[in-house]
Amino acid sequence: MALAFDEFGRPFIIIKEQEQKTRLRGIEAQKANISAGKAVARILRTSLGPKGMDKMLQSPDGDVTITNDGATILEQMDVDNQIAKLMVELSRSQDYEIGDGTTGVVVMAGALLEQAEWLLERGIHPIRIAEGYEMASRIAVEHLERIAQRFDFGPTNIEPLVQTCMTTLSSKIVNRCKCALAEISVKAVLSVADLERKDVNLDLIKVEGKVGGKLEDTELIYGITVDKDMSHPQMPKKIEDAKIAILTCPFEPPKPKTKHKVEIDTVEKFQTLRQQEQKYFDDMVQKCKDVGATLVICQWGFDDEANHLLMHRNLPAVRWVGGVELELIAIATGGRIVPRFQELTPEKLGRAGLVREKSFGTTKDKMLYIEHCANSRAVTIFIRGGNKMMIEETKRSIHDALCVARNLIRNNSIVYGGGSAEISCSVAVETAADKYPGVEQYAIRAFADALDAIPMALAENSGLQPIETLSAVKSQQIKENNPHFGIDCNDVGTNDMCEQNVFETLIGKQQQILLATQVVKMILKIDDVISPSYY
């Protein structure tokens, strides 16, 4: 502990317990940081591509997650090292912005760090490496713009969107029915998309899952599903041309806010109180009937007396519906959420062509489907699967597919997948390196080598000879000057990704390169790590 004295002679501590802290400086710090980043990238490397492996993660409370989504793996991993946490953040930002390519971005950053370590050992200053990487990333992003292709799609021609979503789903566990799931995802996005503004609000797409059935039973519902059933078993199970009253007020007499005490000493008084309460219920039900409602959806519960009355008055009702679901129902049916009975008017009712209750299997599970809505801007993807883990993984896969479809609506440029874009960028960056006279050209060449890490990992995970396959594809690209050649992971027999219909979004690829370069620059600029001692 260092003591010092101010001008009045008062002692003060400069840095507390400094001798107990561990400290890494200079090249040692950079090497430690690089090895931490590489360790995280190595974990994800094996789960890249259509033949990538899945990871099984167990949380402290015993929940098991099986996934091959990079962002989910890193979120669930308990990472302690600060540099490793940066890699987790990197994957998360790719997930938030693009939704796809979360594994590739970490593998890319790991490869850049590996190349940087090699350059540091040769005595090149980390700032010069960082600058070289920055130049190279600019060259790569511009080259991607040049090799990208645009395609037009419309509400009738959705094939290009489906093909791109299929590429995303092919690396997931659900790849055996990727065609059906891709089609469902694209239709869902197009039904909520605003094509004039080129914007998609993914909150309007609800992804629900229920254990049972098989993956092929997954369906797209142009409406909303609610995990509730009618409040009385004798209420009708199917209502056509429903007019829906959406209430957030309870179906019971109001309770005074203050403390109160009711003294009842005779039977007559009790009868009067009961009749008063019954009249209150009667008025409520009558109010709903008067405005023309044929179905009541309530956020709160109601007691058996109200339930009995509703049944007798032929007014089906659903109780305990969550707030988020109420909002979606209101959007889909064009209704208004009513907080007080006095405000209930015919204009505030929502309209749906069909409301039906559906039972599943031999269990007592029932769900309510609200379909053919007045405003079909809210849709539901309803997933079936053999077990809970399968449904969770399918939800994550569909989220990726939805994000890809949204990105294509925002920007309809695509590049070809299978590592072909990275190989093409690597060749372009290597060629451009000769134009830079300084030390940066070493870093630019290293960047070109790092770009090869993704096709290399793809080949490795597919059981091919990595170096042999990569060099064959690279020479083919240079010879024929065609950026569509990539790694043939699925053993189709052709390297041309155009024929295999393997597409990726341009903005996703550009974001991967830019984000990976930014994080690597940040890690290279750290030359002093002061960490607290662990007792």
Would you list the DSSP string of 353-364? Answer: EEEEEEE-TTS-
| Residue of 400, 452, 488, 496 with catalytic role | 400
Altogether, the residues listed in the chain come to a count of 535
CATH architecture of 231-375: 3-Layer(bba) Sandwich (3.50)
Residue 78 annotated in active site: no
pLDDT for 16 equals: 63
Within 10 A of 92 (CB to CB), how many other CB atoms are there?
A: 15
Q: How would residue 1 be classed by pLDDT, with cut points 50, 70 and 90?
A: low
What is the arithmetic mean of pLDDT over 102-118? Answer: 92
Residue 103 annotated in active site: yes
The yes-or-no verdict on residue 15 having pLDDT over 80 is no
Q: How would residue 143 be classed by pLDDT, with cut points 50, 70 and 90?
A: very high
| Residue of 67, 103, 225, 394 with catalytic role | 103
The DSSP call for residue 99 is S
| Residue of 46, 65, 67, 69 with catalytic role | 69
Residues 255-268 as b/e (b if ≥16 CB within 10 A, e otherwise) read: eeeeeeeeeeeeee
pLDDT for 151 equals: 78
**How many Å apart are CA 63 and CA 154, to the nearest integer?**
42
Dihedral (C-alpha) 197, 200, 201, 205: value to the nearest 10 degrees? 150
What is the arithmetic mean of pLDDT over 113-142? Answer: 92
The DSSP call for residue 349 is -
**In the predicted model, what is the mean pLDDT of the chain?**
86
Residue with tokens 């793809």: 458
Angle between helices 126-147 and 440-451 (to 10 degrees): 50
Residue 102 annotated in active site: yes
**How many Å apart are CA 38 and CA 7, to the nearest integer?**
50
**How many Å apart are CA 292 and CA 515, to the nearest integer?**
56
Express each pLDDT in 293-346 by its tens digit. Answer: 888 898 887 777 778 888 888 888 888 888 888 888 888 888 888 888 788 888
DSSP string of 28-73, one letter each residue: HHHHHHHHHHHHHHHHHHTT-STTPPPEEEE-TTS-EEEE--HHHH
Which residues lie below 8 Å from residue 511, measured CB to CB, with a gap of 6+?
A: 94, 97, 98, 101, 105
**Residue-range domain boundaries for the chain:** 21-150+416-465+503-532, 231-375
Express each pLDDT in 467-494 by its tens digit. Answer: 999 999 999 888 988 888 888 887 777 8
**Protein fold of 21-150+416-465+503-532:** GROEL; domain 1 (1.10.560)
pLDDT for 428 equals: 92
Which residues lie below 8 Å from residue 176, measured CB to CB, with a gap of 6+?
A: 215
Express each pLDDT in 63-84 by its tens digit. Answer: 888 888 888 898 888 888 888 8
| Residue of 72, 102, 164, 168 with catalytic role | 102
